[in-house]
Amino acid sequence: MQPTVRLASANDHLQWDRYVLSHGAASPYHLFAWQGAVEKAYGFKACALVALDQEKVVGVLPLIHFTTPLRGGALIALPYCDVGGPLADDEMVESALLHYAARLGADLKAWSLDIRGPRHQGALPSSGFAVEEKSDKVRMLLSLPSSGEALWQSFRSKLRSQINKAQKNGLTFEFSENLHAFYGIFARNMHELGSPVHSFAWFQAIFENYGQRAKLGLVYNGRQAIGGGVLLHTDRMVSIPWASTLRASNHLSPNMLLYWKFLENSAEQGLALFDFGRSTLGEGTYRFKAQWGAKPVPLVWQTVRLAGKGTTGRQDQSPSKSGNTAGPGQWKRALAARLWRLLPAGFVDRVGPVCRKYISL
Rounded CA separation 358/345 (Å): 20
Model confidence pTM above 0.85: yes
**pLDDT, mean of residues 218-230:** 98
**pLDDT, mean of residues 146-166:** 96
Which of 297, 3, 291 lies closest to 122, judged by CA?
3
Q: Output the pLDDT for position 313.
A: 38
Query: Helical H runs in 59-156?
Result: 91-107, 148-154
Residue ranges matching CATH 3.40.630.30 in the chain:
4-138+297-345, 145-271
Does 152 score more than 60 pLDDT? yes
Q: Phi, psi at residue 240, to the nearest 5°?
A: -120, 90
Neighbours of 270 (CB within 10 A): 11
CATH of domain 145-271: 3.40.630.30
CA end-to-end span of the chain, whole Å?
36
Does 24 score more than 90 pLDDT? yes
pLDDT tier, 127 (very low <50, low <70, confident <90, very high otherwise): low
How many residues in the chain? 361
**pLDDT, mean of residues 12-17:** 97
pLDDT tier, 247 (very low <50, low <70, confident <90, very high otherwise): very high
For domain 4-138+297-345, the CATH superfamily is Gcn5-related N-acetyltransferase (GNAT) (3.40.630.30)
Sign for the pseudo-dihedral over CA of 35, 213, 231, 136:
negative
Distance set, CA 25 to CA 53, 67, 160, 234 (Å): 20, 28, 31, 11
73-118, pLDDT tens digit by residue? 999 999 999 999 999 999 999 999 999 999 999 999 999 999 998 8
Q: Output the pLDDT for position 329.
A: 63
Which of 356, 277, 288, 322 lies closest to 82, judged by CA?
277
User: Could you tell me which residues are beta bridge partners of residue 243?
Assistant: 229
Distance set, CA 154 to CA 146, 241, 298 (Å): 12, 24, 24
Q: Output the pLDDT for position 124.
A: 73
